[in-house]
Amino acid sequence: MILTFHIWKSLASSTNDCILNIQFPSQRNDSNCVQGNWGGFLEANCCVVPFDGYLHALGERANKTGQIFLNMTEQVNCLASMKTKQDDVLNCGIQKLTSGEGGCSDYSVIDVINKLENFENMLEESCDLGSDDLSGEACGSCLRMWEEMGEKGEDDICRFAVLVTVTSRGIYEEKWIKELYGCLQGQNRLSMGNGIHTF
């Protein structure tokens, strides 16, 4: 673990050419520390905003290229770029979503459609793409589906591969994506505040 951290730190200091278009809120202040951990996936507090921006950027890239996760070099470059705006981003656990580890980490959008189509369809339907409001009962249904995917043996990497694919399909539905991420991270839309999740 320590060795991995030093490798990441060394690589991250060498370059910051990120292939993703990761958007952060225009102003940083204490209100940007949104609590939520995506069911324990995130390893530190105050990681929700950069993680949601990262997921959204993965969705944009998947929409254009069909590729889901970045390889280690690409991801290190993006984390280095993000670190200039969010000091503790290297402690968030984002590096767990890296291609090259086998299984779902190497899936493309086509792979998700071919191998995880049931989960993709169920998540899309449960989270109601195009809904004007994904809170209350609608969020409950969406969250139950997300948790059910884990209970049926899909690890976090597979679930996020499905989520990035779903995001790529609804990439122009900004309000819905904000609602979706707010629901799944454990926050409701009223507690997110205005302007926190600006993509």
% of the chain exceeding 70 in pLDDT: 75
**Which residues touch 45 (CB under 8 Å, ≥6 apart)?**
33, 35, 37
pLDDT at 12 over 80: no
Residue 68: its H or E element: none
Q: What confidence score (pLDDT) does residue 162 get?
A: 96
pLDDT band at 36 (very low <50, low <70, confident <90, very high): confident
Q: How far apart are CA 192 and CA 183, in angstroms?
A: 10
Instruction: Encode pLDDT of 75-91 as tens digits.
Output: 999 999 988 777 678 88
Is the model's pLDDT at 129 over the cut of 80? Answer: no
Total residues belonging to the chain:
199
Please report, for the chain, the start and end positions of each structural domain, with discontinuous segments joined by +. Answer: 40-186
Contact yes or no for 68/165 (Cβ under 8 A) = yes
Mean of per-residue pLDDT scores for the chain: 80
In terms of Cα–Cα distance, which of 96, 95, 102, 87 is closest to 46? 87
Q: What is the number of other CB atoms lying within 10 angstroms of the CB of residue 65?
A: 12
